[in-house]
Chain A
């Protein structure tokens, strides 16, 4: 297999190349003005390792796949067109009011709680750019007020006159009857034929999100419209660049749903967060191929800590209403929990409980931790790590940043020593201990709310600070095994090359499988089956359009089900893709019962209150050849005890005095290397901290195991 996959992040463009048996990676700074420049540098970097050139590689690979944060950046910078919105009469303040809670979406809890300082984000559609459409459809899709077309024409003109550069249409209950939304487009084109106005995006909400919930569907549509031009131009430039370099196959774009598609079959919204989601995709492949069992993947960077779940048995965790930037949207996105914790998290004195508090404020990358010497004065987790001896001041981030230990010491002493009445070193230990405990609590809540015990999971640690804090987090979490995965420094890029071509289509439904009032079991099988078939047909059409072969298309049916009037919508993956009898219905109810019980506890189920399906979702996909991960078993090869480069005095939580700690270089990543903690392995990409009581075992493909002291394994 020959393949190029790319993760264009906010700072770096990572590139991962599979070249038959070889795998290489490249890294370059992201060039925001023209993404292809950074990509070319990154790929060129990788090609050098292969001893070949970019053009040869691009002419030979089966595909080039992109995950990108382009959309995320566009949102942060608020770079997008002036959007006008057409909404059902009586709903004109739905978007600006953002369900009340919109002020706090995407913020940490302390800021959500600070109601007096609540500020909604700068709107993507200002209030003055919203117009009403006189029409109305009910929850079953019955039109009880016909659309006032003449009035609509005036509203469209009004918005165009107000310089709208894109229009979105959000009509209530359009997901169960799209007639009126579709008619708005016809009218728009009658009023403004393409030859008159040119191409101005005109997006219909039901085509962006298939589920009920007018606000979240509206924001999804707005975000799609807002990002459309940026993504179109950004990704279009990349495609042209590929063409000019000899790549002739379709460019593929990773989606936040965990699948991918060609550029022309990709909505802008689907690309947001596709980088981190690619990391989870890589975790999924890794666990299947390397037999790792349940995995909780963690990506600890400078400002955030991302948590993702991959569990055995194919259960997928999606967020159906994820928050993107500051907005709640309606899109099935691979579940990703982000905590505001990272190396840049600021440590402060907690006056109330007489201890140290980590975050939520962060020094970010500018000015960054005090030890960066860039003007930051507040002590951060990274300052503590430096003071404890874990980081090499001269070789941090491949030597790009020289760390100032004195500054780190001073910042901790100035901010915390007087109040805590502890030495700077003890405070540094406390900072690390607290930061690790906070992250462990975050992971624990994530797993336990889904009915899992952290002890049953292997923790995957990547990101710049992941291997540094892995043992500390695992200690707090009660996990015995941590894997710093293969290709950790370009893990998301690696994952970007390991997705299937996939499309998800979903629809809201009001399907009562068991009516508790009448004690009737659902029997309108034909309507259910027709809905599933229609969703399969949409997915099939998407894939056929991209040149896939019909015989190779798989479908996965997921049903969001609930008891009575509950809010929870537990996604049940079922092989019962067609209902043919009431026994099939009972089996579905049983599957839901089991799934719900696993999550919330046996006995928590309430089938006696009735059972309903709210959403039908079909994932249509074509399996793609995946990159092969090696067997990563830690005891696969005979352990090799490495020789340290040097030793350093390091301080560890639970140890009063400094511990003489062996320091190793990148060569320690050679498969089979065994190092007993305490130890440090410094590589250009990251620092591996092997805490006392833990053992480092290098596995294949640059993967590293952290194993809690257990001589049986060795």
Chain B
């Protein structure tokens, strides 16, 4: 039956009806897909069109910075979460429109480009909603990264600031809290198969009225997590820190007035964007790429491509991530694109332009392309609890491409370096402490990633996480007071596991953990890079090696320490090679979902090395000998990798023999080498090998491969919907049943 066309008026009525029927205020693509700050408001336009005194604005900027610093110190000092103790937090200030203008000088960088999304959500949906509203004295809480943020283990408190009846800005505080009531303790459940396994998923909602936390909502939140004490303490901490910040803001407004304050917040964004454009303009026009692979979903091995193509033209720059792995609908390693962008900003600020202010103005002039439905631009229903996996990649990918683009510039803003090790190589834990507290969180070792080698010197060992500076790997004596974890290996540099090169990457360290005085405790690890190197070298430097999880189960090391202490070693290699203890030894990839650890069982993982820089044959022999002397590499490695000849006892170099060995190796390289075309003929394949569980594009970014061996699917980027993986336990059962069947049939 033919329908009669609606008039304009009727259409407007229909549109109004549709707009008013809000079943659910889900993450809003209009907010979440826009990483640039908004246009000037009429008021901003008016005050910014007047002549500005840049120096006065700078003075006000200094005052705001001091206020942010003060509130940051408060959170850092008062915070109860381990994350707060090592600085995984931020305080921030936003324009009345919700654009993030400044973060505290020591705050985690990534927050500078994602804390604004939930505020924009509040402004869009709640400010005029009579059932919610926004008033002086209100405070909103939030943790679901789908509404903005890095990941769901971070919780924010956001407060509107009013002056003379006008909303003049927003202030916020965010802490990496850890525990959030997910299916596994610690806030980052690798076992989450849907977003409903992720624990607390708070869109922004009002939890503070008249500057006080509402007890009913607090109780609800405490009831939803394993650590109600932590939930209470840190909500208070965040609230009182932002209230202090609010006080300072009001003082600045009293002193300088609203106009100059508003100008400062806005100009901070615009000036930074102009500076970024200026720096892009300094880069040569052109395109460069880097390809990275994640080798695990944390449940099974799977090669997932994350490719980055950077194109510079004039003062514009595009980051193109099309062709990445599709999203996994029942794995926790997806991320939404907003979180991914925040990690890219981290990469730029941590390794490329560390002198720039930390604001959302950084990314504003950069265009980012991605495929919706891909691993890095996942749909809201896809689990994202372990989004750290692609996010950490985003933190280091810019290092390589920007090193290529910036190497020959007359002015460098920092050193040229190879990528940092990019895995969260730490124990995530949970259970009952020796004091009877239920808790879940992770160890500070996440902050000890090895640094990539620099163009003029080695990388520093275990320097910092990929997402921050001046973070802290902590003191184990203090950590042991709070949890039953005992470190048999606290920090032992991982010998021979190095990103070799003319300059080597900084090493990571081994972590050997066991449990004492708790009969309900467990660990998980959320790492990749056990099959395929996670960190690349630069300009000929070696990539990182792969690292595994090792276990010794079904025994109690504390008994052995009493009975046969001489058999207990304190480094991973000796323990695993000698196998002198009576336990059951096993080696795994580093993606371990939560499992219980009985008292005295041993779990071992390793922080990794940064990538190497340049040709190993160009490394100064005395630096190689120094590495041997410091037990960072073995004499065999010195010989095999660096081709030096020396007396192992005296460590005296034989210069002539070394020169000869290196010459011989260069000749051998030439002999092994092939002309480029011949190499391509042998090496290039038209599609991924059939044996490889491969996800992502191959040659053409528009064509996406997905699937495990025997079940490969090829689709277009536009049509991809995501991948469902079989339960590894089901696969194992099927495998065992097949074996049983074969045995029964006499096969």
Q: CB distance A127 to B630 under 8 Å?
A: yes
Question: Closest chain B residue to A612 by CB distance?
Answer: B481
**Contact, CB under 8 Å: A112 / B470:** yes
- Residues of A close to B414: CB separation below 8 A: 114-117
A99 touches B475 (CB 8 A): yes
Contact indicator A90/B488 (Cβ below 8 Å)? yes
Which residues of A lie under 8 Å from residue B474 when comparing CB positions? 99
Q: Tell me whether A355 and B55 are in contact (CB under 8 A).
A: yes
Indicate which residue in A90, A114, A606 contacts B354 across the interface (CB closer than 8 Å).
A114
Q: How far is the CB of A134 from chain B (nearest CB, A)?
A: 7
Residue B59 lies at the interface, judged by CB distance under 8 Å to chain A: yes
By the criterion CB–CB under 8 Å, are B570 and A565 in contact? no
Task: Tell me the bound Cα distance from A409 to B192 in angstroms.
Answer: 66
* A90 with B481: CB separation less than 8 A: no
A22 within 8 A of B: no
**A441 in complex: contacting residue of B62, B78, B275, B350, CB < 8 Å:** B62
Interchain CB contact under 8 A, B233 and A214: no
Nearest chain A CB to B322 CB, angstrom units: 29
Asked whether B469 lies within 8 Å of A90 as measured between CB atoms, the reply is no
Q: Are A604 and B489 in contact (CB under 8 A)?
A: no
Q: State which of A59-67, A118-126, A220-228 sits at the interface with chain B.
A: A118-126
From A40-48, A139-147, A553-561, the one touching the partner chain is: A139-147
Q: Of the candidates A97, A115, A448, which one forms a contact with B70 in the assembled complex, judged by CB atoms under 8 Å apart?
A: A448
- Asked whether A441 lies within 8 Å of B271 as measured between CB atoms, the reply is no
Q: Kindly state whether residue A433 has any CB partner on chain B within 8 Å.
A: yes
Cross-chain contact A145 with B350 (CB below 8 angstroms): no
Q: Is the CB of B233 within 8 A of A355?
A: no
Q: Report yes or no: B436 in contact with A604, Cβ–Cβ below 8 A.
A: no
Query: Is B487 touching A90 in the complex (CB atoms < 8 A)?
Result: yes
User: Are the C-beta atoms of A212 and B470 separated by less than 8 Å?
Assistant: no
Which residue from chain B places its CB closest to the CB of A601 in the assembled complex?
A: B240
List the A side residues contacting B243 at CB < 8 Å: 601
What residues of B have a CB within 8 angstroms of the CB of A212 in the complex?
475, 477-478, 481
Closest to A88 in B: B490
In contact, B78 and A352 (Cβ under 8 angstroms): no
Contact of A565 among B236, B350, B482, B566 (CB under 8 A): B482
Q: Is the CB of A115 within 8 A of B275?
A: no
B248 contacts A by Cβ under 8 Å: yes
Q: How far is the CB of B54 from chain A (nearest CB, A)?
A: 4
The residue that A116 contacts in the complex, of B84, B454, B482, with Cβ under 8 A, is: B454
Is A445 engaged at the interface, CB distance under 8 Å to the other chain? yes
Say yes or no for B369: interface residue by CB 8 A criterion: no
Residues of A within 8 A of B10 (CB): none
B76 touches A352 (CB 8 A): no
Instruction: Decide yes or no whether B344 CB sits under 8 A from chain A.
Output: no
User: Are A353 and B271 also in contact (CB < 8 A) when A89-B570, A604-B236 are?
Assistant: yes
B576 on the interface (CB 8 Å rule)? no
CA distance A396 to B138 in the complex (A): 56
Task: Please indicate the chain A residues that have their CB under 8 angstroms from the CB of B74 in the complex.
Answer: 449, 600
Do A132 and B80 have beta carbons less than 8 Å apart? Answer: no
Bound: A601/B248 CA distance, A: 13
Q: Which residues of A sit under 8 angstroms from B461, Cβ to Cβ? A: 93, 96-97
| Cβ contacts under 8 Å, B57 to chain A | 353, 355
Residues B248 and A352 in contact, CB atoms below 8 Å apart: no
Q: Does B417 sit within 8 A of A, measured CB to CB? A: yes
Contact between A604 and B237, CB atoms less than 8 A apart: yes
Q: What sequence of 0s and 1s flags, for each residue 216-256 of chain B, a beta carbon within 8 Å of any chain A beta carbon?
A: 00000000000001101100110010011000100000000
For residue B334, CB closer than 8 A to chain A, the reply is no
Which residues of A lie under 8 Å from residue B69 when comparing CB positions? 445
Most chain B CB atoms below 10 A, which of A148, A353, A430: A353
A568 within 8 A of B: yes
One digit per residue, 1 when the CB lies within 8 angstroms of any chain B CB and 0 when it does not, for chain A 344-369 equals 00000011111110000000000000
Q: Does B378 make an interface contact (CB < 8 A)?
A: no
Cβ of B462 < 8 Å from any Cβ of A?
A: yes
Contact B478 A430 (CB under 8 A): no
Query: Is the C-beta of B61 less than 8 angstroms from some C-beta in chain A?
Result: yes
CA distance A610 to B448 in the complex (A): 31
| CB-based nearest B residue for A91 | B490
CB distance from B438 to the nearest CB of A (A): 9
Q: Taking the nearest CB of chain B, how far is it from the CB of A218, in angstroms?
A: 10
Once bound together, how far apart are the Cα atoms of A101 and B516, in whole Å? 29
Least CB distance from B539 to A in Å reads 15
The 8 Å CB contact of B351, one of A116, A172, A433, A601, is A116
Residue total for A at the interface (Cβ-Cβ under 8 A) = 81
**A516 B80 Cβ-Cβ under 8 A:** no
- CB nearest neighbor in B for A134: B565
Which chain B residues numbered 449 to 496 have a C-beta less than 8 Å away from chain A?
Answer: 451, 454, 457, 460-464, 469-478, 480-482, 486-493
Interface string of B38-79 (1 = CB under 8 A from A): 000000000000000011011101110110011001101111
Closest to A94 in B: B491
Q: Give the chain B neighbours of A547 by CB distance below 8 A.
A: none
Judged by a CB distance under 8 angstroms, whether A55 is at the interface is no
> Once the chains bind, are B351 and A566 in contact (CB under 8 Å)?
no
B629 close to A128 (CB less than 8 A): yes
Task: State A119–B503 Cα separation when bound (angstroms).
Answer: 14
Expressed in whole angstroms, the Cα–Cα distance for A637 and B493 within the complex equals 69
Q: A212-B475, A566-B79 are in contact. Are A101 and B229 (CB under 8 A)?
A: no
Q: How far is the CB of B358 from chain A (nearest CB, A)?
A: 9
| Nearest chain B residue, comparing its CB with the CB of A610 | B229
B437 within 8 A of A: yes
Query: Does B85 touch A at the CB level, under 8 Å?
Result: yes
- A120 to chain B: which residues have CB within 8 Å? 460
Given contacts A100-B472, A434-B58, contact A115 B80 (CB under 8 A): no
In the complex where A115-B354, A566-B80, A601-B243 touch, is A126 in contact with B630 (Cβ < 8 A)?
A: yes
B62 touches A109 (CB 8 A): no
Task: Answer whether A110 and B355 are a contact pair too, CB < 8 Å, given A146-B565, A568-B77.
Answer: yes
Establish whether residues A604 and B240, one from each chain, have CB atoms under 8 Å apart when the complex forms. yes
B140 within 8 A of A: no
Q: What A residues does B558 contact at CB under 8 A?
A: 144
Which of chain B's residues have a CB closer than 8 A to the CB of A118?
451, 460, 463-464
Residue B581, interface by CB 8 Å: no
Interchain CB contact under 8 A, B512 and A103: no
Q: Chain B 97-122, CB within 8 Å of chain A: the 1/0 string? A: 00000000110000000000000000
Task: Produce 1/0 per residue, A63-94, CB < 8 A to B.
Answer: 00000000000000000000000000111111
The answer to whether A608 has its CB under 8 Å from any CB of chain B is yes
Interfacial chain B residues near A441, Cβ < 8 Å: 62-63, 65-66
Chain A residues with Cβ below 8 Å from B480 are 138-139, 173
In the assembled complex, which residues on chain B have CB atoms less than 8 Å from the CB atom of A216? 475
Cβ contact within 8 Å between B629 and A356: no
- Report how far A126 CA is from B632 CA in the complex, Å: 13
**A335 interfacial by beta-carbon distance below 8 Å:** no
In Å, the complex CA distance between A568 and B630 comes to 37
For the complex, is A438 an interface residue (Cβ under 8 Å from B)? yes
* B631 interface residue per 8 A CB criterion: yes
Q: A400 interface residue, CB < 8 Å from B? A: no
In the assembled complex, A567 has its CB within 8 A of some CB on chain B:
yes
Query: Is A644 engaged at the interface, CB distance under 8 Å to the other chain?
Result: no
Distance, CA A563 to CA B232, complexed state (A): 11
Task: Give B106's nearest chain A residue, CB to CB.
Answer: A109
Cα distance A231–B532 when bound, in Å?
Answer: 53
What are 17 A-B contacts defined by CB distance under 8 Å? A91-B491, A94-B490, A103-B464, A115-B414, A115-B469, A117-B454, A118-B464, A214-B477, A350-B58, A352-B272, A352-B357, A355-B58, A437-B59, A449-B70, A565-B233, A566-B233, A567-B79
Binding site for A on B (CB under 8 A): 54-55, 57-59, 61-63, 65-66, 69-70, 73-74, 76-80, 84-85, 105-106, 212, 229-230, 232-233, 236-237, 240, 243-244, 248, 267, 271-272, 274-275, 278, 350-351, 354-357, 414-417, 435-437, 447-448, 451, 454, 457, 460-464, 469-478, 480-482, 486-493, 509, 512, 516, 558, 561-562, 565-566, 568, 570-571, 629-632
Beyond known contacts A113-B469, A144-B558, A353-B271: 14 more, CB 8 A cutoff: A90-B571, A93-B491, A94-B490, A115-B414, A144-B516, A172-B490, A350-B58, A351-B278, A352-B356, A355-B55, A355-B58, A434-B55, A448-B248, A449-B70
